[in-house]
Amino acid sequence: MARKPIIAGNWKMNMTNEQAKVLIEGLKPLVKDAKKTEVVICVPYTDIATAVSLCAGSNIKVGAENVAWAEKGAFTGEISADMLLELGTEYVIIGHSERRQYFGETDSSVNARLKTAVAKGLKPIVCVGETLEQREKNRTKSVIRKQVTLGLADLSEEDILNTVIAYEPVWAIGTGKTATSEQAEETIKFIRGVIAKMYTRKIANKVRIQYGGSMNPKNVKELMAMPNIDGGLIGGASLKAEDFSLVVNFDK
C-alpha cells in the first residue's frame, strides 16, 4: 500500500496571532492543489484557534507542538488532549529534540504523552534522532532503537498505523546542516526495521516516517526520492508561505 507523503510545518515558538493570519492566508492558495500530499501546520497553542478557523474548508490540517500525558489536574503550563481537541486540533508533535534537550523529555514521558494522544484520537508525530556526538561515536542505531522501542511501547497495531515517525538528526536541526539523502534513507530504513520487529513487516511498511532535519526547497526533491522517506517535519522553511509551499509541492 502506497504511503501518502505528509509535510508538516513546526512553527516552534514563532508567530503571533496576527502573524499567523498573514502566513496562513498566504499559504492556502499556494498549496490548495497538493492533492497527493497531506499538509499540516503545527502551531503554538495561542495560534490554534486562529489556525483551525482559517484552515477550515482547505486542505491544511492543524496540529499542536505538544500534549500532556494527564487528562487534567495540577500540571501548570501543560495542555490536555481534550483542550486541543475542543479547538479542532488533529495532529500533535511529541518528543521533539528541543523538548528533550531543554525541557527534560524522556522516552518514558514521550510514551506517556503518546498513549494519551492516541487514546483521545489525536494523530501523533513522534520525533526520534541522535546528536552529533552520538553519531560520531557510531551510536546512531542504538540510540534510535531505544527511542523507538521505548517511545512506541505498548501501542496497538491500529495506533501505530495512525502514528507518524519523524527522524530528526539533532545535529541537522536549525543548523543549516542536512543529512545526505543516503544518510537519511539509511536511518529511516533502520527505523522501519525496528518497527517491523515490534509488529510485523506488513505493519512497518504502512507506517509513515518523515525526515526532520532542515528539509527545504533546495533539498526536498532529492530527499523525497528516497523509497523510505514519506515527508518532512519542516522548521524554518515553514515560517515562509512560499518556501513551505515549495516543499509541499515537491513533485511539481
Compute the distance between CA of residue 127 and CA of residue 91 in angstroms, rounded to an integer: 13
DSSP state of 36: S
**Would you state the cell numbers that stand for residue 170, as one nine-digit string?**
539533532
Rounded-to-integer distance, Cα 99 and Cα 76, Å: 16
Length of the chain counted residue by residue: 252
Q: What is the DSSP string of 124-146?
A: EEEEE---HHHHHTT-HHHHHHH
Q: CA-CA distance, 162 to 118, in Å (whole number)?
A: 8
In Å, how far are 6, 148, 232 from 217, measured between CA atoms?
Answer: 15, 28, 11
Active site residues: 96, 168
| Contact present, 229 and 210 (Cβ < 8 Å) | yes
SS3 (DSSP) at 150:
helix
Classified as helix, coil or strand, 225 is coil
Q: Mutual orientation of helices 17-31 and 48-55 as an angle, nearest 10°?
A: 30
Strand partners, 210: 166
Give the CA count within 13 Å in the CB-facing half-sphere of 70: 7
